[in-house]
Amino acid sequence: MSFARSFRLSGTGAPQLATLAVILFANWLVFPEFFDLRMQDGRLFGSLIDVLNRGAPVAILAIGMTLVIATKGVDLSVGAIMAICGAVAATMASDGYSLPVILIAALAVGLVCGLWNGLLVAVLDIQPIIATLILMVTGRGIAQLITEGQIVTFTHQGLIAIAGSSFLGLPMPVVIAVVLGVAAAALVRLTALGLLVESIGVNRTASTYAGVDSRSVLITAYVVSGLCAAVAGIIAASDIRGADANNAGLWLELDAILAVVVGGTSLFGGRFSILLSLVGAMVIQAMNTGILLSGYPPELNLIVKAVVIVVILVVQSPVAGRLTTFFRRR
């Protein structure tokens, strides 16, 4: 089985990679030192590293979100799950638990959250947008209960190392995102999970009639999403050495959805590519970092972002594809 299949859909993922290249080029225009790298305390240091490092949580969310969207669903609760898992990790860290215990607990909580979403969607047949909205709204409340309304800070060296250490000069979150992305892509493509997910996303009725265990597959997708959110939540907490129940992961579900869409997976479900979603996440973060480096007044942030995204989506849309062939024909 060829691993290249992950890249198969939009041909080679060329539009996504081209988009990323264009954005990086634009960043270089507004900030000529954009590609400069140096070593700092054994860690690579530079704007490019910032893009990777800051984009890591969204990239990790996008892994799970890709699977969920491929089933024709959406998971709005990932931001809230980040907050919950970050809160669990931070509270346990400040109470002095060992790192493995903290990680297992936080991941377990993410798993339970994903399972909850999955059950609502797969068993109770609630529309995904509504089902996950429940946790999106209540999740932060739950996180606040855990943190007792405070920003829980910690000095737990083990947990701090999750976001603060580096491997081969790369920040650990980047390493985690890449490892998870490759592992997830391998999981779905080396097993039949990817096919079944796509099949359900395209036509759930027909898939069920073909004997596909749609429920288990759906639940799996939401559980993976919950686990990814847990990892992102741990990284976010580790990064600021604290858990902010109100703001951790706030609106990141939207960035994750956008990353998946930019990565070429349709919101109508079906064909997906996890690795291209990672590229999508990098596109978004490269744009964010570029805006910060540009020195434009912050009032323009959202406008610039919106314009860039509209351009990306229009350029990648099927209509644009048809238009280009149309003009070539004339």
Partner 1 sequence: MTDDRSTAHAATSGAPAGPGDHRSGADDAPLLEIRGLSKSFPGVRALDGVDFRLHAGEVHALLGENGAGKSTLIKVLTGVHARDGGEIRLGGVPIDAADTADAQRLGIGTVYQEVNLLPNLSVADNLYLGREPTRFGLRSARRTAAMARELLAGYGLSIDVTANLGDYSVAVQQIVAIARAVDLSGKVLVLDEPTASLDAGEVQTLFGIVRRLTARGIGVVFVTHFLDQVFALCDRATVLRNGRLVGERRIAELGRLELVTMMLGRELEAAQLHRRRGEGPKGEAFLAFEGFGRHAYVNPFDLEIRPSEVTGVAGLLGSGRTETAKLLFGIKEADAGSATADGAPLRLASPRAAVAAGFAFCPEDRKTEGIVGDLSVRENIMLALQARRGWLNPLSRGESKALADRFIKALDIRTPDAEKPIRLLSGGNQQKALLARWLATEPRFLILDEPTRGIDVGAHAEIIRLIERLCDEGLALLVISSEIDEIVAYSDRVLVLRDRAHVGMIEGADVTVDRIVGAIAAEGPATAAGVPA
Partner 2 sequence: MSTRKLLLGAVFSCALSFAGAAAAADMTIGFSQIGSESGWRAAETSVSKIEAEKRGIDLKIADAQQKQENQIKAIRSFIAQGVDAIFVAPVVATGWDDVLGEAKDAEIPVVLLDRTIDTKDDSLYLTAVTSDTVHEGAVAGEWLAKEVAGKDCNVVELQGTVGSSPAINRKKGFDEAIASHSNIKLIRSQTGDFTRTKGKEVMESFIKAEGGGKNICAVYAHNDDMQIGAIQAIKEAGLKPGTDILMVSIDAVPDIFKAMADGEANATVELTPNMAGPAFDAVAAFKADGTVPPKWIQTESKLYLPDTAQAEYEARKDLGY
When CB distances are held under 5 to 8 angstroms depending on the partner's kind, the choice from partner 1, partner 2, none that residue 253 binds is: none
289 binds partner 2 (CB under 8 A): yes
CA separation, residue 240 to residues 151, 166, 185, 280 (Å): 10, 16, 29, 25
Size of the site for partner 2 (CB under 8 A): 37
Q: How far is the CB of 215 from partner 1 (least distance, A)?
A: 9
Give me 189's structure tokens.
Answer: 């493509």
CA separation, residue 121 to residues 96, 125, 155, 251 (Å): 37, 5, 39, 22
293 binds partner 2 (CB under 8 A): yes
When CB distances are held under 5 to 8 angstroms depending on the partner's kind, the choice from partner 2, partner 1, none that residue 149 binds is: partner 2
316 binds partner 2 (CB under 8 A): no
Is residue 106 within 8 Å of 166, Cβ to Cβ?
no
Alpha helices in the chain (DSSP H): 14-30, 47-70, 78-94, 99-118, 128-147, 157-164, 172-190, 193-202, 204-209, 214-240, 252-262, 274-294, 301-316, 318-329
Interface with partner 1 (CB under 8 A): 1-2, 5, 190-193, 195-196, 198-199, 202-203, 205-213, 217, 270-271
Residue 61 to residue 234: CA distance in whole angstroms: 12
When CB distances are held under 5 to 8 angstroms depending on the partner's kind, the choice from partner 2, partner 1, none that residue 190 binds is: partner 1
Of the pair 150, 317, the CB lying nearest partner 2 is at: 150
242 binds partner 2 (CB under 8 A): yes
Residues forming contacts to partner 2 in the complex (CB under 8 A) are 31, 33, 40-41, 43, 45-47, 50, 54, 144, 148-151, 153, 164, 236, 239-242, 244, 246-248, 250, 288-289, 292-293, 295, 297-299, 301-302
